[in-house]
Amino acid sequence: MTLPAPIPLAEAQARLLALVPVLHSETIPIADASGRYLAKDLIAGRTHPPADLSAMDGYAMPAGDTGGPWRIIGESAAGHPCPQALSSGEAVRISTGAIMPQGAGAILLQENALRDGDNLSVSGKDAATSAHIRRMGFDFAVGDCLMEAGMKIAPAQIALAISGGHGAVAVGSRPRICVIDSGDELASDPAKVSRHQVPASNGVMIASLAESLASTCLHIGPVDDELDSLLNAFEQVGDADVIVTNGGASVGDHDLVLPALEKWGATIEFWRVAVKPGKPLMVAQKEEKIVLGLPGNPVSSYVIAYLFLLPLLRHMAGARQPIPIALPLPLCTDLPATGPRAEFLRGRLGPGGVTPIGQRDSSAVRALATSDALIERPPHSSPAITGDVADVYLLQNGGNA
């Protein structure tokens, strides 16, 4: 069997995303929108702040009358504006977030004020100033674009949408996924594992990695290394949009994902990528369903899910930046030259940069779990020395896309 040449990483990612359209949108309460992607530009339905407000607790007076003394004629509290207009020599008590009364244009901080009944004068070093006024609409005005379609909604974006008058937002629907573990050696109960077995860790790991990006996740397996068992698993995926297999993607006699996919009627779109670990990635399609055949080694499975599955799910859910963003960080150790594949080393972030983890075997689960970053070494890199800058991807919470 002649194996296809491994496809360079960026090309393979682009080919994968081009295979599937963005899913339709749905409108959901803003309180439920964390982690979702905006389906259309979010336009401000109100001006914020809606009027000139005081940024401090103190007294408001006319802009041309900042030296005092003043006579206090009322109060403007947050939620309770002062109905009176101010003339020269007059002031009102004002609290943080309260509306500036008509005629007011300066604030005297409480710390700099001396109050005696309704008489007010400056006691501190600072006179009244307009610097403590938040001008109407300085943050945004009605009709402004607050966030563009495809942006990820996180807590700060939720606050912005609510401040902009939105109790609900249109977001991309999340794909339904199905994860299949396959391999005769896999034990489903980690507490009951014979010597010829390994616990089936990948499926649950991948489901957990994809959890926030998928609407539902069906987990099938472990499935035997038999063509018909795999075929049967594919026939049970129901309405899943994305099917993820673990293992059986390489060239061994018992690596049956490819023939099972063909027997099921799927088209193999590509197989093998120039990435280490994770070369045997397989991508197939059957009608609207897309299949990612991940390599079985746990580190390879994780790295490929990070580089391909998560971007695919983000893309389907409407993200405008589905591919994770690398940060340039100094290396804390030397690294050897690389071969024809892009290498992704596990590493730990620290104050001086990133330190690659010594154990690089693609089956080393403990080394993977100890790491919080992936260090990218492009194909055919020269040896790197301590202090050289490398592209680093953050792993926590699925990274920064």
Ligand X SMILES: Nc1nc2c(c(=O)[nH]1)N[C@H]1C(S)=C(S)[C@@H](COP(=O)(O)OP(=O)(O)OC[C@H]3O[C@@H](n4cnc5c(N)ncnc54)[C@H](O)[C@@H]3O)O[C@H]1N2
**Out of 65, 90, 181, 241, the residue judged to bind ligand X by CB under 6 A:** 181
Q: Is 183 in the site for ligand X (CB under 6 A)?
A: yes
Instruction: Report in angstroms how near the CB of residue 340 gets to ligand X at its nearest.
Output: 13
Interaction mask 318-357, ligand MOO, x per CB under 6 A:
----------------------------------------
Q: Is 293 in the site for ligand MOO (CB under 6 A)?
A: no
Coil vs helix vs strand at 327: strand
Interaction mask 246-285, ligand X, x per CB under 6 A:
xxxxxxx--x---------------------x-xx-----
Judged by beta carbon distances under 5 to 8 A according to partner kind, the member of ligand X, ligand MOO, none in contact with residue 203 is: ligand X
Give whichever of 52 and 343 is closer to ligand MOO, judged by the CB atom. Answer: 343
Segments of 206-352 assigned E as strands: 216-223, 242-246, 267-271, 275-276, 282-286, 289-294, 327-330, 342-350
Instruction: Report in angstroms how near the CB of residue 185 gets to ligand MOO at its nearest.
Output: 16
Q: To which H or E segment does residue 390 belong?
A: strand 389-394
Q: To which H or E segment does residue 96 belong?
A: none
Instruction: Give the span between the Cα atoms of 48 and 159, in whole angstroms.
Output: 12
Interacting residues with ligand MOO between 232 and 291 (CB under 6 A): 276-279
> DSSP code of 261?
H
- Please measure the distance between the N-terminal and C-terminal CA atoms of the chain and give it in whole angstroms: 38
Instruction: Report in angstroms how near the CB of residue 245 gets to ligand MOO at its nearest.
Output: 14
Instruction: Report in angstroms how near the CB of residue 29 gets to ligand MOO at its nearest.
Output: 42
Instruction: Give the span between the Cα atoms of 50 and 100, in whole angstroms.
Output: 11
Q: Is 296 in the site for ligand MOO (CB under 6 A)?
A: no
Instruction: Give the span between the Cα atoms of 396 and 385, in whole angstroms.
Output: 26
Which residues contact residue 116 at a Cβ distance below 8 angstroms, ignoring those fewer than 6 apart? none
Handedness of CA 188, 190, 194, 199 (dihedral sign): positive
Give whichever of 294 and 331 is closer to ligand MOO, judged by the CB atom. Answer: 294
Query: Judging by DSSP bridges, how do beta strands 242-246 and 176-182 pair with one another?
Result: parallel
Give whichever of 300 and 371 is closer to ligand MOO, judged by the CB atom. Answer: 300
Cα 360 to its chain centre, rounded Å, is 27
Q: Is 300 in the site for ligand MOO (CB under 6 A)?
A: yes
In 3D space, the residue among 207, 210, 205, 211 whose CA is nearest the CA of residue 190 turns out to be: 205
Q: Is 224 in the site for ligand X (CB under 6 A)?
A: no
Give whichever of 25 and 250 is closer to ligand MOO, judged by the CB atom. Answer: 250
Give whichever of 62 and 298 is closer to ligand MOO, judged by the CB atom. Answer: 298
Instruction: Give the span between the Cα atoms of 295 and 282, in whole angstroms.
Output: 8
Interacting residues with ligand X between 85 and 114 (CB under 6 A): none
Judged by beta carbon distances under 5 to 8 A according to partner kind, the member of ligand MOO, ligand X, none in contact with residue 175 is: none
Give whichever of 181 and 376 is closer to ligand X, judged by the CB atom. Answer: 181
Which residue bears the tokens 């244009």? 105
Reading phi first (left if > 0) and then psi (alpha if -120 to 50, else beta), residue 248 is in left
**Out of 173, 245, 246, 297, the residue judged to bind ligand MOO by CB under 6 A:** 297
On whether the CB atoms of residues 300 and 294 are closer than 8 A, the answer is yes
On whether the CB atoms of residues 260 and 234 are closer than 8 A, the answer is yes
Give whichever of 23 and 299 is closer to ligand MOO, judged by the CB atom. Answer: 299
Q: Which residues bind ligand X (CB under 6 A)?
A: 181, 183, 185-186, 198, 200-203, 246-252, 255, 277, 279-280, 295-298, 300, 362-363
Q: Which residues bind ligand MOO (CB under 6 A)?
A: 276-279, 295, 297, 300, 362
